[in-house]
Amino acid sequence: MNGLSTFVLLLAAAYVAGSINFSILVFRITGRKDPRHRGSGNPGATNVYQLQMVRALGDADWTTAGDWTAAWEVQFPEAATLEGRWYRNDPRIVALLAENGYLGTGENHAEAFEVTR
């Protein structure tokens, strides 16, 4: 195969792969209902996130991530109004960070590793 035919074949394969909606495919493989028939009706990432099932540690009941987020907002209304990602505002996460420190990729991430270098 010469370079041009390889390029055309790869281009066609990329086009076909890009036209597959993987959220619908994954929902069908896992035996769940089509995400286009629930939530916003859009098979995009936001709707799929809202439809995914989660549960708190120790709970036997599963709930959708959207319902879990709504319950969290009721439980922590002051944290829900703050800017940024919810887990950075959750009082439980803030307490864990205060107790154990932060080793993420934040602004000062290199400082956490200075002692061990």
Share of the chain above pLDDT 90, in %: 12
Do 49 and 14 belong together in one domain? yes
Our count of domains for the chain comes to 2
Q: Which residues contact 55 (CB under 8 A, 6 or more apart)?
A: 61, 62, 63
- Report the distance separating Cα 64 and Cα 47, nearest Å: 11
Cβ atoms of 38 and 27 within 8 Å: the answer is: no
Q: Which comes out higher in pLDDT, residue 30 or 116?
A: 30
pTM value is 0.48
Do 37 and 90 belong together in one domain? no
Instruction: Show the CA angle centred on residue 40, arms to residues 29 and 63, nearest 5°.
Output: 60
- Report the distance separating Cα 101 and Cα 117, nearest Å: 18
Do 53 and 29 belong together in one domain? yes
Domain that holds residue 21: 1-63
Do 82 and 58 belong together in one domain? no
